[in-house]
Amino acid sequence: MPAEGERLFDRFGREYTAGTVIFKEGDVGSEMYVIQSGKVNITKKSRDVEKVLVTLGTGAFFGEMAIINNKPRSASAVVVEDSRLLVIGPKTFDAMIRGNSEIAVRMIKILAQRLQEADEQIENLMIKDANSRVVHFLTHLAAKGKQVAGGTLVEVASPELARKIGLKEQEVNDVLDKLLKAKLIRRDEHSDAFLIHDVNRLREFLEFLEMKEKFGDF
């Protein structure tokens, strides 16, 4: 780690072991966190299911809303792997924003991105049909996926997919099996990822599912 990073860690750093709950949804807090190393899951309970909203890695920050709006935590934060975090209090946060416009702009961009992702997740949770919910989420992932030979690669394992959309893993696997048999997707041989052969075709399939849910079987 660069010397500057070590100096910051000496001032603001804390080490957390995997499995540590940094804070829970509803907790009162006045600190934000910056990840110097490791990974942290941001989770939220929906219909009695703990849903992973996002997995954050090195350089990401979280918990800032408790400082900005002085309200209880809107989600929980759980350490996925041993992590080194910078813990920033209100006064330090205020000095950072006032003294460095680049930090302020970066935070605004990231917050705007998070709002968009939250809107997409809320839209997904409103879908009742498990088939539609899985396909809907895959189409959103495809918009940010990697273009490779044969289609679009989306990096998500089925357990993670289940947590993100609030379904049981078996429900997700059942839908994925249907998509595999229909040759709409293919498992990547080298990673926890899926190859979507034709994103437009997958969107058309989603439209079919939505029509079926709306009008039922004839």
| Domain edges within the chain | 3-125, 130-215
According to the model, what pLDDT value does residue 77 have? 94
| Mean model confidence pLDDT for the chain | 81
Phi and psi angles of residue 167, each rounded to the nearest 5 degrees, phi first: -120, 160
Check: CB of residue 23 under 8 Å from CB of residue 72. Answer: no
In angstroms, the CA 89 to CA 177 distance is: 47
Is the confidence at residue 105, as pLDDT, over 90? no
Q: 70's torsion region: left (phi>0), alpha (psi -120 to 50) or beta?
A: left
In angstroms, the CA 90 to CA 212 distance is: 51
CATH C-level class of 130-215: mainly alpha
User: Once rounded to an integer, what is the mean pLDDT over residues 111-134?
Assistant: 69
Q: What is the DSSP letter of 144?
A: T
In angstroms, the CA 67 to CA 88 distance is: 10
Fold of 3-125: Jelly Rolls (2.60.120)
According to the model, what pLDDT value does residue 12 have? 85
- Of the candidates 32, 97, 100, which has an alpha carbon nearest to the alpha carbon of residue 66? 32
Q: What is the pLDDT of residues 188-202, one digit of tens each?
A: 776 778 888 888 888
Q: What is the DSSP letter of 152?
A: E
Is the confidence at residue 110, as pLDDT, over 80? no
Q: Which strand (E) or helix (H) includes residue 42?
A: strand 32-46
**Share above pLDDT 90 across residues of the chain, in percent, rounded to a whole number:** 14
Say yes or no: do domains 3-125 and 130-215 share a fold: no
β-sheet bridge partners, residue 42: 54, 77
Q: 193's torsion region: left (phi>0), alpha (psi -120 to 50) or beta?
A: beta
In angstroms, the CA 32 to CA 73 distance is: 11
Query: Burial, 165: exposed, middle or buried (Cβ in 10 Å; 0-12, 13-18, 19+)?
Result: buried
pLDDT tier at 135 (50, 70, 90 boundaries)?
A: confident
User: Once rounded to an integer, what is the mean pLDDT over residues 90-117?
Assistant: 76
Q: Which strand (E) or helix (H) includes residue 133?
A: helix 130-143
pLDDT tier at 74 (50, 70, 90 boundaries)?
A: confident
Is the confidence at residue 42, as pLDDT, over 70? yes
According to the model, what pLDDT value does residue 79 have? 96
How far from chain centre, in Å, is Cα 205? Answer: 24
Is the confidence at residue 81, as pLDDT, over 90? yes
Is the confidence at residue 21, as pLDDT, over 60? yes
The structure tokens listed for 196 are 């979507």
According to the model, what pLDDT value does residue 14 have? 92
According to the model, what pLDDT value does residue 52 have? 80
User: Once rounded to an integer, what is the mean pLDDT over residues 143-165?
Assistant: 81
User: Once rounded to an integer, what is the mean pLDDT over residues 129-152?
Assistant: 83
Residues 6+ apart with CB under 8 A from 200: none
pLDDT tier at 122 (50, 70, 90 boundaries)?
A: low
